[in-house]
A and B are shown apart, each in its own frame.
Chain A
């Protein structure tokens, strides 16, 4: 549904997005992760047809965005970071203004707006948008992104201004939208937010895609910069003797407990050796790195 080919955007001679190749399937909830300034928002602006790429191409539903941005805008919804509205108009009037660009007649607009305001719990709010709190603006932003019942949704830092209840509702909404077959592209620098709703992620750093896949795949890919090393935690009832195996890289032991770094998963061989030596194994497991630590390390790289 979303595809980029060598997508590049250069500002003042410095690449904000550098040769990005990305693919997001239909109905996926894709998390676009990366630290501030990694190029996430710039990528979204190119994908939504709001800025033109310096190089490369991007497609949404098979349409090349730079060639036909209006057609793309008709099938997408976009919630910008720090979404803004016309302060002299109510939420309903703002939505009505945007809805007119989709050729909806008055009845259609009225029904759709009422439905969306109810969805984001802003129905019955008669205040002007300038009097809205940031959370209310964010919810109105969600409503305006859905005004045209889009196929693809782009959310840029969607929970930044929401309270915990708003965050919970947002997560439910995203799950519900994905259930309707919509593709959701969520950009965030908060891993916990992305892991709650997204099935696949892409990690962007300094304008380049560092990894893409499920969270586990990405974490695994990022966790082993020195090859395919695995960490095995071993604990026995008795004191651990020296462990030998051609696959072992190093052993950090402490009495009856050790962390073995090996080229591959040697748990079966290790268990057999310890059993042969008459040791009672209390624990033997692969140590998965904390996903936050992995991403933090990748952010710092």
Chain B
């Protein structure tokens, strides 16, 4: 494989994408929605910041019973949480739109045969197409992030170095998610003889892994938990109720609401402790099954990783609801470390589809 031939194909594909009406319309829509949601996100961030400042002042003025529990300073990464929801829909559509006819259209118009009569190998064509598509999606993502950062700066919200790194990681994770659907679309484009069929196959997979799979995962988790872990443990009937602080956090349209109970006073009942241990084991088993099935869904992996990047604290609570609460907000590296399987899945999913595309394209009958 010669780099100059590969880049010649990739250059042409990239240029085709970014000048195509389809790409421009969807990207335009994505950027408009992105701008509006970032604007709203900045408003919410400023409100949270105001509330945080007020809370700090109140803590200084009064004797607060929970003075040991410092409120955490809002992060500008909250601004990006809303980006997740429309990225999974519009971003997914953009990725599918640029990939579904990449090969099938060439078969339909017979341009593939003409191209193959010139001195280049098949792998240079398919790799060049993939590279061009990745470049176009990277361009779209870079544009969305650039607008987001520009808006932050316009509203005098200056990210710290850590936050800037988190923004870049969020962009990379989002790109990884987009690549998953681009890879599916490219595979279907190679399998199908007609672009219409390629689009239908891609959409079927899109909805299967984004909606059906998590649902089946939950059903499987219930079924397996019942079969192997039995019924959920019953709480003890008697005993002193501990005082609890229930922390609930939520974000995005999908995720996640995570809650945590913290016992801060009272005598610990051994029955309660045993119940909590049993419940923890039961929930972990159930969640393990659900998590394994969710690893096959780019959406679920994306939500999990993106939440870890945009809101490590929620991610930490969601990840281990029964662990002791941490006094300090977990770092980005810690949060990413907890979701390494999801990160790996986000890499493996498109890689498998790209590999399948490669093999099929190399063996394709071009008569």
Contact = CB atoms under 8 A, between A and B. Distances in A.
A101 B111 contact: no
Contacts of A144: 114
Contacts of A98: 114-115, 118
Given A45-B367, A84-B109, A100-B8, A141 B114 contact: yes
Contacts of B367: 41-42, 45, 51
Interface residue range, chain A: 20 to 34
Interface string B329-367: 000000000000000000000000000000000000011
Given A45-B367, A85-B111, A87-B109, A101 B117 contact: no
Contact of B120 (A42, A84, A86, A101): A101
Contacts of B73: none
Contacts of B12: 97
A80 B113 contact: yes
Interface in B54-111: 106, 109-111
B10 to A, nearest CB: 12
Contact of A84 (B4, B16, B113): B113
A30 interface: no
B285 interface: no
A97 B115 CA distance: 9
B20 A88 contact: yes
A84 B111 contact: yes
A58 to B, nearest CB: 15
Interface residues of B, number: 23
A71 B116 CA distance: 13
Contacts of A76: 117
B367 to A, nearest CB: 7
B20 A85 contact: no
A141 B119 CA distance: 16
A51 B109 contact: no
Contacts of A80: 110, 113-114, 117
Interface of B: 4-5, 8, 12, 16, 19-20, 106, 109-121, 366-367
Given A84-B110, A103-B4, 17 more contacts: A45-B366, A50-B116, A51-B367, A73-B118, A74-B119, A78-B117, A80-B113, A80-B114, A83-B110, A84-B109, A84-B113, A85-B114, A87-B109, A98-B114, A98-B118, A102-B118, A145-B117
11 contacts: A42-B367, A70-B119, A70-B121, A80-B117, A84-B111, A86-B109, A86-B111, A88-B20, A102-B118, A145-B117, A148-B118
* A-B CB proximity, top 3 nearest: A84-B110, A78-B117, A73-B119
